[in-house]
Amino acid sequence: GNSVTQMEGPVTLSEEAFLTINCTYTATGYPSLFWYVQYPGEGLQLLLKATKADDKGSNKGFEATYRKETTSFHLEKGSVQVSDSAVYFCALRDGGATNKLIFGTGTLLAVQP
Amino acid sequence: GAVVSQHPSWVICKSGTSVKIECRSLDFQATTMFWYRQFPKQSLMLMATSNEGSKATYEQGVEKDKFLINHASLTLSTLTVTSAHPEDSSFYICSAREQGAQAHIYGYTFGSGTRLTVV
């Protein structure tokens, strides 16, 4: 079945450092891909998405490119801030009848001042 | 954008009692709602998918008699944890999918979660 593999955390960075969180997927066809962010004690918020190969999703300085050849959707940000500290989830939309989201295990990012 | 309201945000209950969690889509109609359980160290487990007016589809290993899901209208779904026990303590999150064309724009909107503690 479809699945998402996400790099394990926690990832600890200093403010203004470059961020990469790796995400790869296994799926039939070309699913839509998402990054969600979860701040402490809250639900998930959509950060960005891409619906087809070579699409680049971007939001709040974060970017991810849908790479079909490597089945990847890595999240990047050039300069992180303390306020970016959160858990980041990579997900794909399963193509079945329910169109449910399949999540990676999440990566905790801690940014230190 | 789309908003999903989830209540309560936290609840403490005694072992053996039942707890109901509500999930409402505030400004859109949600044909499909998903219920997740989040375990320590973040991982999200999809428990069930509910469609308005029909029975929920439960994921393998989820007890449907313990986790009752009702999706009586296009804006409301409820999860009832029946005869709760300490091992049911967790963070429960709902998600709603918009009807029709809007699904491609907003996709899935998540509630803010409910922290359940069973003592």
pLDDT tens-digit map of B21-47: 999 999 888 888 999 999 877 778 899
pLDDT band at A111 (very low <50, low <70, confident <90, very high): very high
Cβ A46 vs Cβ A52: under 8 Å: no
Residue B7's H or E segment, with its range, is: strand B4-7
Q: How far is B18 from chain A (nearest CA, A)?
A: 23
- The answer, yes or no, to whether the previous bond of A10 is cis (omega within 30 of 0) is yes
DSSP A42: S
CA–CA gap between residue B8 and residue B25 (Å, rounded): 15
E strands in chain A = 3-6, 11-14, 19-21, 23-26, 33-38, 44-50, 56-59, 62-65, 75-77, 86-93, 101-103, 107-112
Among A44, A46, A90, A107, pick the best mutation site for testing chain B contact (most B Cβ within 10 A). A44
CA–CA gap between residue B61 and residue B56 (Å, rounded): 14
Whole-number pLDDT of residue A49 = 93
CA–CA gap between residue B47 and residue B68 (Å, rounded): 11
CA distances from A71 to A30, B6, B52 (A): 10, 34, 34
Output B99 or A90, whichever has higher pLDDT.
A90
Torsion of CA B24, B74, A47, A107, to 10 degrees: 70
**CB contact B12 to A (< 8 Å):** no
pLDDT tens digits for range A41-82 = 888 999 999 998 999 999 999 999 999 999 999 999 999 999
Confidence check: pLDDT of B101 > 60: no
Confidence check: pLDDT of B103 > 60: no
- The answer, yes or no, to whether the previous bond of A40 is cis (omega within 30 of 0) is no
pLDDT band at A22 (very low <50, low <70, confident <90, very high): very high
Residues in a beta bridge with B5: B24
pLDDT tens digits for range B41-75 = 777 889 999 988 888 999 999 999 999 999 888 89
Name the residue among B34, B44, B115 with its Cβ closest to that of A89: B44
Q: Half-sphere exposure (CA, 13 Å, Cβ side) for B10?
A: 4
Q: Which of A48, A8, A19 is nearest to A32 (CA)?
A: A48
DSSP, collapsed to helix, strand or coil, labels residue A22 as: coil
Whole-number pLDDT of residue B102 = 53
Share of chain B above pLDDT 70, in %: 91
Share of chain A above pLDDT 70, in %: 97
B55 Cβ contact partners less than 8 Å away, ≥ 6 residues apart: none
With beta carbons under 8 A apart, name residues in chain A contacting B44: 89, 103, 106
Farthest CA pair distance, chain A:
45
Output B38 or A98, whichever has higher pLDDT.
B38
DSSP, collapsed to helix, strand or coil, labels residue B25 as: strand
A69 Cβ contact partners less than 8 Å away, ≥ 6 residues apart: none
Q: Which two tokens stand for residue A39?
A: 């701040």
A22-45: average pLDDT: 91
**Of the candidate ranges A38-42, A70-74, B90-94, the one whose mean pLDDT is the lowest:** A38-42
